[in-house]
A and B are shown apart, each in its own frame.
Chain A
Amino acid sequence: MGLLNVFDIAGSGLSAQTVRLNTVASNMANASNVSTKEGDVYRAKMPVFASVMQGVNNDSSSQGVRVLRIEESSLDASKVYDPGNPLANKDGHVYQANVNSIEEMANMISASRSYQNNVEVMNTAKQLMQATLKLGQ
């Protein structure tokens, strides 16, 4: 049944976009984290999406989406001279999280738009199913 599949597909999109929003929130919250050593500092995280077969009969026509893994940004943490900071090393430097706030904001808007799209698809499918149930009445 095609229309019931739509719920599974759009639902997988909703959860994947939620994971994406979660990583954005985590990145934004940790944007001003600093650390003494470069290895310890927070690194920006981002999800990697992949399509996945959906539905009971595993036909290739319906493909949902899932989060394959969460990757950490490979950008270097920037070194800032801040001798007053309690976390500063003996040269007076601290390492800052490699989060780009502007990039994260754009990512957040993109994720929320995709979420809205999927909700809309679900709503349409629901209306169509309700109309089908009333058929012949």
Chain B
Amino acid sequence: MNFFDKALGSHAQALSLQSRRSSVLASNIVNADTPNYKARDIDFKQVLKSSQGDMLKLTGSKSGHIGSSGSGIKGSDLKYRIPLQPSLDGNTVDLDQEKAAFTENAMRYQTTLQFLTGRFTGIKGALKGE
């Protein structure tokens, strides 16, 4: 782990995961009218934890190894939503729920960006030594 990884903490990974989650939720919204489509989501906490675990495991056993970015969503991380109101065509997308989740994810993304900006400001301040 280099200096920047330590300084930025888990925020960088969280940002990457949140952007991946936004595409999963966008898929749900866009398929709101598709017959037999099943809405999916990721368990954010669990995936973030496991990707951090991967990162610790993969930090080079030999010189020349490139560490994994550890932020990919594997197929097994995607979970199906339990439908509240299943429709006749087999579609399980609840548009209100998905829109709320998408907006919430966008807010979290912006929060993470704010945290990262704070960290960068801190590093800049330390470098200038003013």
Chain B 102-116 residues near chain A, CB threshold 8 A: 102-103, 106, 109-110, 113, 116
Are A124 and B19 closer than 8 Å at their CB atoms? no
Residue B52 interfacial (CB < 8 Å): no
List the B side residues contacting A114 at CB < 8 Å. 32-33
Are A61 and B34 closer than 8 Å at their CB atoms? no
Chain A interface residue count, Cβ-Cβ cutoff 8 angstroms: 39
List the B side residues contacting A25 at CB < 8 Å. none
A50 to B32 CA separation, bound complex (whole angstroms): 11
A51 to B40 CA separation, bound complex (whole angstroms): 13
Are A63 and B31 closer than 8 Å at their CB atoms? yes
Q: Which residue of chain A is the closest to B42 with respect to CB atoms?
A: A61
Are A48 and B35 closer than 8 Å at their CB atoms? yes
Query: Known contacts being A2-B19, A2-B21, A125-B22, is A132 close to B113, with CB within 8 Å?
Result: yes
Chain B interface residue count, Cβ-Cβ cutoff 8 angstroms: 36
Are B32 and A63 closer than 8 Å at their CB atoms? no
A65 to B40 CA separation, bound complex (whole angstroms): 15
Main secondary structure of the interface of A (DSSP, over half): helix
A76 to B19 CA separation, bound complex (whole angstroms): 49
List the B side residues contacting A51 at CB < 8 Å. 27, 31, 34, 37
Main secondary structure of the interface of B (DSSP, over half): helix
Residue A135 interfacial (CB < 8 Å): yes
A54 to B103 CA separation, bound complex (whole angstroms): 22
A128 to B103 CA separation, bound complex (whole angstroms): 11
Are B24 and A62 closer than 8 Å at their CB atoms? yes
The contact of B95 among A55, A117, A128, by CB within 8 Å, is: A117
A10 to chain B, nearest CB (A): 6
Residue A1 interfacial (CB < 8 Å): yes
Are B23 and A5 closer than 8 Å at their CB atoms? yes
A66 to chain B, nearest CB (A): 9
Query: Known contacts being A51-B37, A114-B33, A128-B110, is A2 close to B23, with CB within 8 Å?
Result: yes
Task: Beyond the given A51-B31, A128-B106, please list 19 additional residue pairs across the A-B interface where CB-CB is below 8 A.
Answer: A2-B18, A2-B22, A3-B23, A6-B22, A9-B26, A10-B26, A13-B30, A13-B31, A49-B33, A49-B35, A60-B75, A61-B24, A62-B26, A63-B37, A117-B95, A118-B29, A124-B106, A128-B19, A132-B15
